[in-house]
Each structure stands twice: as structure tokens, then as C-alpha cells.
Structure 1
Amino acid sequence: MKKFIVIDGLDGSGKDTQVRMIAEMYEKQGRNVVIRSHPCSDNKFGRKSKAALLKTGKINHLKATIYFGLDAIRSVVKYARNDDVDVLIFSRYILAVMYLPDGINTIVYKIVSFILPTSDCMFFLDVSPEESLRRIGSRNEDTEMFENIESLRENRLKSQKFTYNWNVIPGDDSPEVISEKIKKICLETDKLIG
């Protein structure tokens, strides 16, 4: 049976670091791992989402969210039923709906989480906005529209209404501490499935 893992969280929460660490664990077991870090640069939806994220304004906000959703759906369609894939890991997934206007985001989340695959290995890295901003500042990348203290605080609050069925992991801890918590849950679910 395919293992489906999602690592999500605010920008700067350490998603990609955790994805690499969990992928290494499964690769050492000899499993074929595919990583999808959204928005992905290998397709037009991901590229358009990323381009919109680097701009400002409500229309770009909406474009970024819609194209992100199409990018994630594309990844599901392409890899979820691929028999050559043993472990499918997504960095960012359905929590992007929290960026939609309030009210609409709740409805869309319920629909999307019903239609798209979910698992017991969905993790939200709950980093404080201050730590998130510190980490973002240490990267050598262009700043996205949500990468400011006000947006980070707002989106962290918004995320709480969507993560009720997620494994919420404190994101201010070191990458190694976070990884151990994620690996423990993943290995426990492997025992239940296997």
C-alpha cells in the first residue's frame, strides 16, 4: 500500500527540511519515494502560482491560490495511483485554502479534503510568526506576498480552524526534534498498515 505523507505549515516552518529527512528514512528502507513541493516548477500551474505569490494585490492572491490548487491536484492525479511510487510526500497541500476569504475557505476545505486523498501522516508545523519571519529573512529568495509579520500572524490563526484532523507539531523546535516526532508517527502508522 502506498504511503501518503503531507508536511504543511507557514512559510519558514521547515517543511522542505522535514520532507527531505522523512524521504531519506524511507529511501534507506529501499522504498521508492516521490516528493512534490508545491508550488512545483515542473508545470504551468505551479509556475503561475509562484509568479502570483511574488506579486501583491487581491487578484494575485486569488490567482496564487487557484493555481496552487490545480498544481496540487495535478500531483495527486499523476502520482497517487502510480504503482511505481511507494511513498508520496507533499510539501504543502490542501491547507492553501486558508488563504481564500473567510467562509469560502471553510467550505472549500471541507470539499477538497473529502475529494482529495488524506492520511494519518498529515503534519502541520506550527511555527511562531516571529520564528517564521526570522527563517524567511535568512533565505536568499524573493519575498512572497504572505511573508510579513501581519500575514504570518493572521494565517497562523486561520490555520487553527483547519488543522483539527492533522498532527500538529511545534515548529520552533530544532529540525532534528521535529523530525523525530514526525518519524515516530509515520512508523507507528506503518505498523498499523503493514
Structure 2
Amino acid sequence: MTAGGARGLFITFEGIDGSGKSTQCRLLAEALQKAGRNVVLTREPGGSPGAEEIRRLVLEGDPDRWSAETELLLFMAARRDHLERTIEPALAAGKVVICDRFADSTRMYQGLSRGDLRAAVDQMHALMIGREPDLTLLIDMDPAEGLARAKGRQGKEERFEDFGIGLQEKMRAGFLALAQEFADRFRVVDGARPLDDVAADVRRLADEALEGSRA
């Protein structure tokens, strides 16, 4: 909490690859900024200089470049740096932090879909991170459509997309299960609709969370 009493709000976006969450992050940040909010838009892995270096290690290259266990350590290192250098200072200053992926992605990619590491993920999260978002918006999308969108970008960061449709199907089911497990902070948004309709739902849910943070 700042000296003036304002509290920051931590909003994360989750979803399978190609769900449109990154676009919705940007649109929400722009809308809140226009409304006079002080917003920090960030991403994972990344969001700080050290974490961006790790991002290149985990998102580029051959799918088998790292084991799930090694990935977990790399992602946790990136998240800790991101938390210390970007997220916590912004929240302490009363800003709205909007993050494209956070710990829930690690619970899925390394904790469920690539190995039976969920318990290890949660233990390391409690030890080294110790923070959950105030609001998590899950942009839900059919795995085949999402993968087609993701591959259509033709970028360098396609290591996880290269695992194929099987991983995306596990991810979607896992994210929906997480939404039930953490029902207090998760909200599921249908991402298969027109962009503006999705953005309107996202804005409404964010406004509700912002109003609740004042209570």
C-alpha cells in the first residue's frame, strides 16, 4: 500500500497458445490507461532484463532442449527476478500490473503436461514466489484453433507449439481445472468470439476487481 492508501492490483492472463490472451492484455492495459489508471504491462517468462534472457533459453530451440525439471528451475528463476524488479515495486506504488502468464502456466506446462511435477511447482512457488494474482482471466479457446493461430505467427518462440495438439489439449483441460481449483480469483472468458466482445468481458471483470480492491 502506498503512502496515500492506494493498493495495487495484480491481474494475470492465462490460456493455451494462440488463445488471444496477449492481445487482450494489451487492450485492457490501453483501456485502463485511458481511464486514468497507472498500468504496468508485462509478461512471462520475461518482464525484467534477467528474465528476458531466460525467456530466450526456454522459448526458442528444439522441443527437447530441456527436461521438464530443468524448465521448472529456469522459469522459477525468471519469475523471481521479474517479481523483485518489476511486479512488487509496481504494486507497492499502487499501480495495476497486467501480466501475460504467471505461475498458473508453470503449474500447467511443467507441473502437469510435461511431467508429474505439480507438487514440486507448488512447493517452489510457495518458497520462492509466495504471491498469487488478485484476478486471473483465462481466455478459453479450442486447442486446434489456438494452435493454428499460434503456428500462423511464424515467430521464433514456437518451442512449446512444436509439441503439437496433444499438449494443447492437455493444457486446455488443465487450465479449466485450475479455474475450479482457484475459483476465488479465476474468471473464464470465451475467446472464440469477436475480439471486441472478448475485450468487453475482460474490461468488465477487471473493473469489478478494481472496485473490490477499494473496499
Same fold (TM over 0.5): yes
The equivalent residue for 2:118 is 105
The equivalent residue for 2:145 is 131
Q: Which runs of 4+ in 1 moved over 4 A?
A: none
Residues 110-145 of structure 1, C-alpha deviations (whole Å, 9 max, x = no match): 7637821321x2111111111111211321302523
TM-score normalized with structure 1 length? 0.85
User: How many corresponding residue pairs?
Assistant: 193
CA contact 2:18–2:149 (8 Å) conserved in 1: yes
CA contact 1:38–1:90 (8 Å) conserved in 2: yes
CA contact 2:46–2:54 (8 Å) conserved in 1: no
Output the CA distance in 2 between the equivalents of 1:50 and 1:97.
20
RMSD between aligned alpha carbons? 2.4
What runs of 5+ residues in structure 1 fail to find an aligned partner? none
Output the CA distance in 2 between the equivalents of 1:107 and 1:77.
22
AA paired with 2:166? E
Instruction: Name the % identity.
Output: 22
The equivalent residue for 2:178 is 162
CA contact 2:144–2:165 (8 Å) conserved in 1: yes
Residues 130-166 of structure 1, C-alpha deviations (whole Å, 9 max, x = no match): 1111211321302523212121112222323322221
Output the CA distance in 2 between the equivalents of 1:159 and 1:109.
15
AA paired with 2:118? N
Output the CA distance in 1 between the equivalents of 2:14 and 2:84.
20
Look up the SS of the partner of 1:81 in the other structure. Answer: helix
Q: How does 1:81-100 map to 2 (within 5 A)?
A: 81-82=89-90, 83-84=92-93, 86-95=95-104, 96-100=106-110
What runs of 5+ residues in structure 2 fail to find an aligned partner? 1-6
Look up the SS of the partner of 1:80 in the other structure. Answer: helix
TM-score normalized with structure 2 length? 0.78
